Amino acid sequence: MAADALSRVFSALADPTRRDMVARLAVGDATVNELAAPYDVSLQAVSKHLKVLEDAGLVSRSREAQRRPVHLEAQVFDLMTKWIERYRREAEERYRRLDDVLAAMPDDVAPTPARKEDTPT
């Protein structure tokens, strides 16, 4: 699938096993076998997970004798954090503005229980 980078990252981290591996790799590089040890799945399955993480740019693999040490590339996290923070900030700001509006309103004119404020354009 030709999904964009952000989709690949989110998608890669949507799997608990893969998140777990990332957690493990944050402590230090590891080989495929080391990474596979805690899980009750075949080595091939782990290999596939690593491919997903690699395609997402979350991980890189070098070569060291027969081993393929896996290394966490933490910069990719920035991509996500930026996206998340952007919309969180927007939403929070909007929320704050709404609060101001409500606060400036006499109680008996306050709108229905839920926040409305739709129909933008």
Continuous segment of H or E residues that includes residue 9: helix 5-13
- Give the footprint of a copy of itself on residues 43-102 (CB under 8 A): 60, 62, 64, 69, 71-72, 74-75, 77, 80-81, 83-88, 90-92, 94-95
- Interface mask (CB under 7 A) for DNA, residues 15-44, using x and -? x-x-------------xxxx-----xxxxx
Q: Which residue has the tokens 């939403």?
A: 91
Distance CA 37, CA 41 (A): 9
Distance CA 120, CA 28 (A): 49
Distances (CA, A) of 20 to 14, 24, 36, 82, 84: 11, 6, 11, 22, 21
Of these, 103, 104, 107, 116, which contacts a copy of itself (CB under 8 A)?
116
- Interface with a copy of itself (CB under 8 A): 3-4, 6-7, 10-11, 13-16, 19, 22-23, 25-31, 34, 60, 62, 64, 69, 71-72, 74-75, 77, 80-81, 83-88, 90-92, 94-95, 112-118, 120
